[in-house]
Amino acid sequence: MAAIQLGQAALRELDTCVHCGLCLPACPTYRELGQEPDSPRGRIYLARALFEGRLDPRGPALEHLDLCLGCLACETACPSGVHYGVILEDVRAATEAVRPRSVLVRWLRHLLLRWLLPSPGRLALAARLLRIGRALRLDALAPRHLRELGRAAPPVPPRPSRALLPAELPPPAPAAPLRVGLLAGCVQDVLLGETNLSTARVLGLYGCTVVNPPGQVCCGALAAHAGDRETARELARRNIEAFEGVDYVVVNAAGCGAHMKKYGHLLADDPEWAVRAEAFSRRVRDFSELLAALAAEGRGPELPGVAAGDGARPAVAYQDACHLAHGQGIRTQPRALLGQVCEVRNLADEACCGSAGFYNLVQPEMATAARDRKVEQIRATGARTVVTGNAGCLLQLRAGVRAAGLDVEVVHIADYLARRYDELGAAARPAGAGGGAQVAGAAARRE
């Protein structure tokens, strides 16, 4: 039986696991199915057996790995610090060539991962076709879970957000210079571009010049998670090139940010790119991560309503996106930002909402079960608004609250902050107000 090849990093993680099982209760698929092969520890056993040639990669082992959401809740729970995501990504890349896939599925994967997502022009064309399809009500022909997701999405905007943003957008008031590149993303750019425009506007209120580099492309997370590492590496190189010269690369999608922070790892064996990739990853910041750091230094908008004591603070439930909470350890920053302008309520736990990249498209049953559990937690908070930091979670939760008949809006944190700052009449701080010394200083010393 042919063994699969795994990289040194994945083998180190396999060796780090002591098989204690403390990650099992955190795993949504184990909680749902109650079987060891559908737990993190079980999947680690399977990965080792595949590597040692004791299991056939064309057998049922891969089904258990495919059921994994990649949510990384097991990483948070693991006392030994096993980076399970490294193992999962390596196994998916190593098994891709031997997977029993039909010619049609292989062709569709190729079309999506190598032809459509890497090309902003083709994505814009696809968005136009989607608009036409919706106008003709062709979505009624799709399976139920796809219809639910499609109806949760807002109308397709006529133009991608990258076409609406200038190459450089200076802040509304002069401030200590901080140039940040904004990742527009792939699907988000054409379907949820309003969030990118809100992100740019809010960054301006925190004294940032927002740079929209013309050469930027999809971050490559979807390709990496689907086992197409070569496409992911090529997209990483193009983004590293495109974002040269900015102090930070700001990302408002949790999965993209977590992936871009690992470009250094992705290109570690490429002598031409390894150093640049590592330096790039150190400059990547989630939107809320950078804003919270700037706010801690006294930057950010003046909020007269809140400073005077805003008696009518709306209640908002905050949903942790997995790749923010587990992937990047970002939990307090979004809550601190929201806490300036509303009352923040927590959900019962950090379990995945079931979106997980393409997961809700290819594993609809498990994804719907995760989604519905999350919707019940939302209902329990009593809040009429849910805020999250990831486009995938946003659509998944919107579909969920609609299916449950809840009168709850689901909003990206950038859109929510932009709206609240407008409502409160927030003004940009003039030059000299606030600090900014540390962040701006760090930026000045950039690699």
Residue ranges binding ligand SF4 (CB under 6 A)? 17-23, 26-29, 40-41, 43-44, 68-74, 77-78, 80, 82, 84
Of 41 and 201, CB closest to ligand SF4: 41
Question: 41 or 373: whose CB is closer to ligand SF4?
Answer: 41
Closest CA to 370 of 386, 388, 349: 349
Cβ-count burial 135-145 (b if 16+ within 10 Å, e if not)? eeeeeeeeeeb
Name the residue nearer to ligand SF4 (CB basis): 71 or 293.
Answer: 71
Q: How many angstroms separate the Cα of 314 from the Cα of each of 306, 341, 427?
A: 12, 8, 20
77 or 98: whose CB is closer to ligand SF4?
77
Taking the complex as a whole, the smallest distance from the CB of residue 75 to ligand SF4 amounts, in Å, to 7
In whole angstroms, how far apart are CA 107 and each of 93, 104, 111, 143?
Answer: 17, 5, 6, 20
The closest alpha carbon to 181, from 284, 266, 84, belongs to 284
Residues 29, 94, 48: CA angle, nearest 5 degrees: 60
- Bridge partners (DSSP) listed for residue 318: 346, 387
Please tell me the distance from the alpha carbon of residue 392 to that of residue 364, in angstroms, as a whole number: 14
Burial of 365 (C-beta count, 10 Å sphere; 0-12/13-18/19+): exposed
Residue (81 or 311) nearer to ligand SF4, CB: 81
Q: Which two tokens stand for residue 390?
A: 């990831």
Minimum CB distance to ligand SF4, residue 23 (Å):
3
Q: How far is the CB of 68 from ligand SF4 (least distance, A)?
A: 3
As measured in angstroms, the least distance from the Cβ of 6 to ligand SF4 is: 16
Contacts of 238 (CB under 8 A, 6+ apart): 215, 216, 217
142/281 Cα distance (integer angstroms): 39
Beta carbon of residue 192, minimum distance to ligand SF4 (angstroms, whole number): 25
Q: Which is nearer to ligand SF4, 68 or 338 (CB)?
A: 68
Q: Nearer to ligand SF4 by C-beta: 43 or 373?
A: 43
Q: How many CB atoms lie within 10 A of CB 348?
A: 12
Which residue's CB is nearer to ligand SF4, number 88 or number 387? Answer: 88
Closer to ligand SF4 by CB, 47 or 210: give it: 47
Q: What single string gives the DSSP state of each residue in 60-108?
A: THHHHHHT-----HHHHH-TT---HHHHHHHHHHHHGGGS---HHHHHH
Neighbour order of strands in the sheet with 209-211: 168-169, 209-211, 179-182, 248-251, 284-286
271 near 435, Cβ under 8 Å? Answer: no
What is the nearest approach in angstroms of ligand SF4 to the Cβ of residue 275? 30
CA atoms within 13 A on the CB side of 396: 30
Q: Which residue, 20 or 105, has its beta carbon nearer to ligand SF4?
A: 20
Q: How far is the CB of 30 from ligand SF4 (least distance, A)?
A: 6
Q: How far is CA 337 from CA 198, 248, 308, 321, 387, in A?
A: 15, 19, 17, 16, 12
In angstroms, give the least distance from the CB of 73 to ligand SF4: 4
Cα 149 to Cα 66: distance, rounded to the nearest angstrom: 21
CB atoms within 10 A of CB 366: 22
Q: By C-beta, is 46 or 184 nearer to ligand SF4?
A: 46
Rounded to a whole number of angstroms, the minimum distance from the CB of residue 27 to ligand SF4 is: 3
- CA dist 59 and 100 (Å) reads 9
